Amino acid sequence: MFAFRHLIPEALHAIVHMVFLGLLCAVIAGGVVLGVAYAHTPHWPPSSLTLLVAAVIAVLAGYAVGLTTLVRDVLHGVKDLERDIVKGVEGK
């Protein structure tokens, strides 16, 4: 029962953290691609191929950051759970 009380808030925190950082990095990556495209050919709006490339890079960057954040939060949760189990065993 203790594990579930610990697991649910951590899972919600990890999901919110993952989505926020994924969206933030996706917006930054798409903006960088559009900025580089504008510096190379200074006319606005960019071509549809440039927009497609910016969208693909933004999705890939968001996906990579989201998964990296998820793995980091899972490892942090496993460390916390291990520490709590050790405290419980040593306390008895």
Tokens 């050790």 correspond to: 86
Identify the pLDDT of residue 11: 84
CA distance 36 to 58: 14
The pLDDT of residue 5 is above 80? no
Identify the pLDDT of residue 2: 65
What residue spans define the domains of the chain?
15-87
More confident: 29 or 9: 29
Identify the pLDDT of residue 29: 97
Regarding pTM above 0.85, the answer is: no
CA distance 40 to 32: 12
Closest CA to 72 of 14, 11, 19: 14
Query: Cα angle vertex 66, ends 34, 45, to 5°?
Result: 15
Q: What is the mean pLDDT of residues 46-72?
A: 95
Q: Which residues contact 50 (CB under 8 A, 6 or more apart)?
A: 33, 34, 37
Least confident of 7-11, 33-37, 48-52: 7-11
The pLDDT of residue 3 is above 70? no
Identify the pLDDT of residue 7: 76
